[in-house]
């Protein structure tokens, strides 16, 4: 049943809320601000999903992949641990810290594992380390009944559940974590089920996506990704966005700006009006990555260890507001999500359709320049 506005009875067609914060100086902040930011947009979700991704939260284990997992039962946990023990070396494992929250019901078994890849396994399979981790995530999600990988990146983690986002944040005790980048989501599912693994964010390695809207090109995007070994298992359209960013940014090595042009490409009529070299570049991107184009109304936030990106669809059918205050960059579905935690930003604006807003850690940006 579609939620209706209590004031006038009209359908709310742009539900879901997203919010993100990055301190480009790399200074870490606890999860209290992001919880407050997403909580003020409470009415954009309906309690069927909330979640967060945080970066820089495990500095003492920064060289290990932090696997956040949920299990339906002990059998799934035992099978997963058997798989991890055969393919990884575990530094530390244990239950994820949580607290009882009245509105969070029937949680699965929640565990985290800090692991490194077994080098002998890499030699046997002749595969790159990150590709091995991606393959392992796909294996667990598709072959072990009742096991789901919430996140698998280094020095980051995803936290999600069925519930309102502010309750999910309290459940996972996010005020006890400190990170330089946070993204969050309040879910209002319209055509997919509300279940723990299906809440946002969706992740692979350290890429994490939260999304407001609907990706109507899901079928073609999914088939395109399957050619590269990705398997979509979470019963929601958003999952393809995380895998597409991994493919374009990590596997194909595209700059962020060009990857965003592939996912939210201008219309052909707009491309025809571009100046010479830019026209040829965007035309080539559109031709090569036509199957990666995300159609439908959307606003998304991408988190990764080097920064945060906000992107609207090419018509801007879903809202997004951005602001800056010193080294802090904020993005949110609504201005109130920013002003709740930053009442007086230096600048605040509404990004244009299809134009990415990119926040980069200065440390990561400096490393990129040296590498070039």
The β-bridge relationship of strands 357-360 and 298-304 is unpaired
Start-to-end C-alpha separation, the chain: 53
Give the residue ranges of DSSP H helices in 233-302: 239-245, 256-263, 268-272, 276-288
Backbone φ and ψ for 177, nearest 5 degrees, come out as: -100, 155
Minimal CA–CA distance to 204: which of 231, 226, 183, 186? 231
Tell me if residue 16 is catalytic.
yes
Burial class (CB in 10 A: 0-12, 13-18, 19+), 227: exposed
Quick one: residue 312, left, alpha or beta (phi over 0 = left, psi -120 to 50 = alpha)? beta
Distance separating alpha carbons of residues 360 and 306, to the nearest angstrom: 6
Residue 218 gets which letter from DSSP? Answer: H
Greatest Cα pair distance, the chain, in angstroms, is 63
Catalytic residue (one of 16, 232, 260, 342): 16
Minimal CA–CA distance to 220: which of 311, 135, 290? 290
The β-bridge relationship of strands 347-349 and 298-304 is unpaired
Distance separating alpha carbons of residues 342 and 330, to the nearest angstrom: 9
Q: Look at residue 159 and give its three-state secondary structure.
A: strand
Catalytic residues: 16
């Amino acid at each position: 049943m579609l939620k209706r506005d209590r004031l006038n009875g009209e359908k709310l067609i742009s539900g879901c809320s997203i919010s993100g914060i990055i301190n480009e100086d790399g200074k870490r902040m606890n999860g209290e601000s992001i919880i407050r930011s997403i909580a003020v947009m409470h009415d954009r979700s309906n309690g069927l999903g909330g979640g967060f991704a945080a970066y820089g939260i495990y500095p003492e284990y920064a060289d290990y992949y932090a696997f956040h997992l949920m299990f339906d039962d002990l059998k799934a946990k035992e099978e997963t641990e058997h798989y991890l023990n055969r393919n990884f070396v575990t530094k530390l494992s244990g239950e994820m810290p949580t607290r009882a929250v009245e509105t969070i019901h029937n949680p699965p078994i929640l565990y985290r594992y800090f692991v490194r890849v077994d080098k002998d396994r890499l030699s046997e399979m002749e595969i790159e380390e990150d590709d091995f981790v991606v393959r392992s995530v796909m294996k667990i999600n598709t072959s072990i009944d009742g096991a789901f990988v919430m996140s698998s990146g280094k020095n980051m983690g995803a936290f999600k559940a069925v519930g309102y986002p502010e309750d999910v944040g309290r459940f996972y005790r996010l005020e006890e974590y400190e990170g330089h980048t946070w993204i969050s989501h309040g879910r209002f599912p319209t055509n997919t089920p509300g279940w723990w693994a299906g809440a946002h964010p969706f992740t692979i390695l350290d890429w994490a996506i939260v999304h407001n809207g609907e990706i109507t090109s899901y079928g073609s995007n999914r088939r395109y990704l399957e050619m590269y070994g990705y398997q979509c298992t979470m019963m929601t359209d958003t999952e393809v966005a995380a895998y597409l960013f991994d493919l374009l940014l990590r596997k194909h090595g595209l700059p962020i700006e060009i990857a965003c042009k592939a996912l939210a490409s201008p219309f052909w009529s707009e491309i025809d009006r571009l100046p010479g070299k830019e026209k040829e570049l965007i035309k080539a991107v559109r031709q090569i990555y036509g199957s990666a184009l995300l159609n439908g109304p959307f606003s998304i936030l991408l988190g990764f260890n080097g920064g945060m990106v906000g992107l609207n669809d090419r018509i801007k059918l879903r809202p997004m507001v951005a602001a800056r205050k010193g080294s802090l960059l904020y993005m949110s579905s609504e201005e109130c999500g920013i002003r709740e935690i930053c009442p007086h930003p230096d600048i605040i604006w509404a990004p244009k359709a299809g134009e990415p807003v990119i926040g980069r850690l200065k440390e990561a940006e400096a490393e990129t320049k040296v590498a070039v």
